[in-house]
Each structure stands twice: as structure tokens, then as C-alpha cells.
Amino acid sequence: MSEENVVYIGNKPVMNYVLAVVTQMNGGTSEVILKARGRAISRAVDVAEIVRNRFITDVGIGRIDICTEEIMNNEGTSTNVSAIEIQLAKEFSK
């Protein structure tokens, strides 16, 4: 899995990320990874569901990884932030 098949979810509108995923899938990529941390996790889930239900119906959810990352603040203290990775992969029907 190369780094170009990863879409990092942030604060932009959901449809921007949906467009990025659909563009990669239509360009020949068979799988895309959505990565998000903190409050963007719900936006990543929204992107996965919109892509799956409205745009590319033969895309399925591969694996979902959740973890906690330790982030250092400007003050030097550390905080824990939740993170998620959602794999979207094309389902090949026979």
C-alpha cells in the first residue's frame, strides 16, 4: 500500500474527501485507506458510507483499525488522541 492511496481526513467538507476517494478509485486504484484522528473520525465514517452507498456501490469496507496516539502539546505535556484507519476496497464479482 503506497502513501498515495491514503486520504487524510481533516476539517474540510465531507464531499471534498468523497471526491478524493472517488477520483482515486476511478483512476484504477483498487483500495484506498481513510485515516482520521480525534473529531475527524466521524467525518471519516461519513466519507466511507457516502462513497459506498451513493457513488461506487461495488466498494466494500476492508479492515478497520482503531488506536490511540500520544501527542505532545506545546507546553510539553502529552495527550491521548483516538485514531482510525478505514480500508475501502473494490469487490470483484464473478
Question: CB–CB of 88/21 below 8 Å?
Answer: yes
Which of left, alpha, beta for 76 (phi over 0: left; psi -120 to 50: alpha)?
left
Show the cell assigned to 85: 484507519
Q: Are 84 and 52 in contact (CB under 8 A)?
A: no
Residue 94 resides in a domain: no
**Does some domain include residue 42?**
yes
Residue 93 has pLDDT above 70, yes or no: no
Mind listing the pLDDT tens digit for each residue in 26-84?
Answer: 998 999 999 999 999 999 999 999 999 999 999 999 999 999 999 998 998 999 999 99
How many domains are contained in the chain?
A: 1
In a domain, 9, yes or no: yes
Residue 25 grid coordinates = 478509485
Which residue segment(s) compose the domain that 29 sits in?
Answer: 1-88
**pTM for the whole structure:** 0.88
| Whether pLDDT at 15 is above 70 | yes
